Amino acid sequence: MAKMPSPSVTVKYTKLFINGEFVDSVSGRTFETFDPRTGDSITSVAEATKEDVDVAVKAARNAFDHGPWPRISGYERGRIMNKYADLVEQHLEELAVLETLDSGKPLAGCQYYEIPEGIKGLRYYAGWADKIHGLTLKMSGPYQGYTLQEPIGVVGQIIPWNAPLLMFFNKISPALACGCTIVIKSAEQTPLTAFYAAQLAKEAGIPPGVLNVLSGFGEIAGAAMSKHMDIDKISFTGSTEVGRLIMEASAKSNLKPVTLELGGKSPLVIMDDADVEEAIKIAHMAVYANMGQVCCAGSRVFVQEGIYDEFVKKAVERAKKQMIGDPFLPGVEHGPQIDKAQFDKILEYIEFGKKEKATLLTGGQIWGDRGFYIEPTIFCDVKDTMKIAQEEIFGPVMSILKFKSIEEVIERGNKTMYGLAAGILTKNIDVANRFSRALRVGVIWINCFLVIDKDCPFGGFKMSGIGRESCIQGLQSYLQVKSVICPLQESPWL
């Protein structure tokens, strides 16, 4: 294994950010965050428990009920958000290094994609902040009616570790634009960049209590948020299993609405007429981007029989060339998985694949002698009923399935509990259109994959979730509509 470069980064912020200040947890408890390259501890951070959630919610409630954020003009909120975006941009290099250290993601991906995308999200929703308005209603009697679009209130946001800072900005940006106040909990695997971002929010002029950032465990701090009586909405990204727990907690507490962005098992369909070289590139990226830790990964690759053999051969050649190594080294495409639990889970799925008699063509092995690296893996002869074709692996495992006709692949593509995304590679627009209408998923990619944009609603059908993020839909989930009706006494009724 190549010598591990030591990034020159000092971790500056490790405490909970509540009411505009970094504070220790009420219990004084801390936990360690680990470097996925080695499994060694990077540092310890404050651990939020129920008591800290209570303190943070109180601060957010006070900021919502009495503070300036929901009351200032949308223009002013947008201006502060743009300033925040500028500050994140100025600290991008340090944030990227911190993100790679905490998550194991290749550094270039943080520098050139994820953090810039997060910044874009802030600016995108800053632009919406002064364009939120209601309707004038056409009443059927002598009344004047209109709607107000009001911020939903105190929102709880729970994010995962697979794109820590990007998820952070994806969640907070629309909520800030609407005038909500926020308690956000980072994933226990990756608390560092969210704290840094909290400091920058303060410098940008986001008032105390508007953005409260907690680190802590899901079953403790996350669960306390989900059942909190004074949180008005929860937005969650993570596993389907936890999504269900969050909905249950809402049902048993104050019936807060929930937005859930959950797992997937997205099909990527490659038709005989597709350009095979291009298909290899797209399929490779669709499965191995971020070491497979992507909710909308194209983890079921359906290849039509006419090009199946050629595709399989070339996919294996490409996977073998994948540059694995320390994510700080230039040129490295593939770093470690996030932690031991995910590493073990993926290796277990690889064993299931072998047991169920899929053919393992490449990979399937641990890479290096420490940390959580797994080689890019390919199975062919995969059948729809196998575990590796049904369940989310969240790792670098491509399952290749053969099919004959578009009718058949539409039917098979829809046959999982998930419905997040799907892709099709073909030169035939009629086939692409037919596929797009027939798949029960939230996003369809034609001749591309994993293209995600702030102006493009994102979310799942079926058990991939509830609600949409990005675009105006992402904004609406942080608003409440209020109808206002008033008699028209002396004015003409038009």
The one catalytic residue among 261, 333, 375, 392: 261
**Size of the residue set binding ligand NAI (CB under 6 A):** 27
Distance in Å, CB of 163 to ligand NAI, minimum: 8
Task: Name which of 51 and 65 has its Cβ closer to ligand NAI.
Answer: 51
Task: State both tokens at 195.
Answer: 């704290």
Among the listed residues 93, 203, 219, 348, the single contact to ligand NAI using CB under 6 A:
219
* Segment interacting with ligand NAI, rule: CB under 6 A, options 14-22, 123-131, 156-164, 399-407: 156-164
Distance in Å, CB of 470 to ligand NAI, minimum: 14
C-alpha closest to that of 399 among 316, 302, 314, 334: 302
Distance in Å, CB of 235 to ligand NAI, minimum: 11
Run of H or E residues at 207: none
Among the listed residues 33, 212, 337, 342, the single contact to ligand NAI using CB under 6 A:
342
Task: Name which of 78 and 102 has its Cβ closer to ligand NAI.
Answer: 102
What single letter denotes the amino acid at residue 230?
D
Task: State both tokens at 405.
Answer: 């006709």
Alpha helices by DSSP H, 256-360: 276-288, 305-321, 340-355
The one catalytic residue among 295, 296, 392, 469: 295
Residue 222 lies near ligand NAI (rule: CB under 6 A): yes
Which residue reads 């046959």 in tokens? 415
What does DSSP say about strands 300-304 and 359-362: parallel, antiparallel, or unpaired? unpaired
Residue 78 lies near ligand NAI (rule: CB under 6 A): no
Task: Name which of 144 and 390 has its Cβ closer to ligand NAI.
Answer: 390
Residue 160 lies near ligand NAI (rule: CB under 6 A): yes
Task: Name which of 162 and 193 has its Cβ closer to ligand NAI.
Answer: 162
**Cα 488 → chain centroid:** 48
Residue 226 lies near ligand NAI (rule: CB under 6 A): yes
Largest alpha-carbon pair distance within the chain? 83
Distance in Å, CB of 291 to ligand NAI, minimum: 12
Q: DSSP string of 82-138? A: HHHHHHHHHTHHHHHHHHHHHH---HHHIIIIIHHHHHHHHHHHHHHTT-----EE-
Euclidean distance between CA atoms 412 and 401, whole angstroms = 10
Q: What is the dihedral of CA 87, 88, 94, 95, to 10 degrees?
A: 150
Euclidean distance between CA atoms 183 and 458, whole angstroms = 22
Burial class (CB in 10 A: 0-12, 13-18, 19+), 393: buried
The DSSP bridge partners found for residue 304 are 403
Residue 187 lies near ligand NAI (rule: CB under 6 A): yes
Task: Name which of 85 and 421 has its Cβ closer to ligand NAI.
Answer: 421
Region 231-250 residues binding ligand NAI, contact defined as CB under 6 A: 237-239, 242, 245-246
Report the residue closest to ligand NAI, judged by CB: 218
Look up 295 and say whether it is catalytic.
Answer: yes
Distance in Å, CB of 456 to ligand NAI, minimum: 17
Look up 296 and say whether it is catalytic.
Answer: no
Distances (CA, A) of 415 to 351, 401, 418: 23, 13, 8
Among the listed residues 35, 232, 392, 469, the single contact to ligand NAI using CB under 6 A:
392
Distance in Å, CB of 466 to ligand NAI, minimum: 13
Distance in Å, CB of 307 to ligand NAI, minimum: 30
User: What does the binding site for ligand NAI look like in residue numbers (CB under 6 A)?
Assistant: 158-160, 162, 185, 187-188, 217-219, 222-223, 226, 237-239, 242, 245-246, 261-263, 295, 342, 345, 392, 394
Report the catalytic residues: 261, 295
